[in-house]
Amino acid sequence: MITVFPGVVEGTGFKWKTVGQPITKYNDAVAYLRQSSAAAALLDFLSGGEEVTLLCTTDTTSSFFPAEIVKQAGCNVRGSLVTWNPFDSLNVNDIKRNKPVGRSRVPNNNVSRGTQSPAVGLIHEFGHARQYMLKRDWFMTHYRAASSGSDSDRLIIENDNLLTVESVVARQLNEGVRWKYRDIGSSNTNLNVQYQLNRPMDPILV
């Protein structure tokens, strides 16, 4: 179950406030994401699953925090926590050498540059919630190692999420695709994000 938090999330050493009209921003992103069958399936899965609190905020980066970490931090929300900046898009690189075999749409060049909307950033974080719910022992083993400084464990989690969720949704919505977590450029802040609905679909799934 996804709950959009209306106020301030705080715990040991942090205090993050929500942006204005968080439910509207979330609903706009969801309406756009549901044009992707993969995103729609993930949203439906989460709506019937464990508690996930969503904080729309500009006070911290978009992230996923497992329920036990939220509890340990003395956080004032239930379940797992997703923080999401509804204004940040991301420049990404579809790099031919990083692609799974036969799955790149880079024609003859080595790199195709594109942009991912804030909505794809949201489904990326929800992808981590899916990992946590379906592969909890696997996820928490790598999460705790990553929290202790293991970059390789962080990349195991992130690249699994890219291949199973983010790149699938991005292709279906004709947005920029990255095959490795660090195939990125800069982020972009746009306080007037508007999602274009009814965009053409890309039927090729990874």
Q: Are 46 and 53 in contact (CB under 8 A)?
A: no
* Mean pLDDT value of segment 164-183: 93
Residue predicted with more confidence, 94 or 33? 33
Q: What integer pLDDT is reported at residue 200 of this predicted model?
A: 43
The answer to whether the CB of 182 falls within 8 A of the CB of 162 is: no
Q: Exposed, middle or buried: residue 200 (CB in 10 Å: 0-12, 13-18, 19+)?
A: exposed
CA distance 149 to 26: 32
* 87 contacts 119 by C-beta, under 8 angstroms: no
DSSP secondary structure letters along 69-91? HHHHTT-SSSSEEEEE-TTEEEE
Q: What is the pLDDT confidence band of residue 29, given thresholds at 50, 70 and 90?
A: very high
CB atoms within 10 A of CB 164: 16
- Domain locations in the chain? 2-189
Instruction: Identify the H or E element spanning 172.
Output: helix 167-172
Considering the entire predicted model, what is its pTM? Answer: 0.91
pLDDT at res. 204: 33
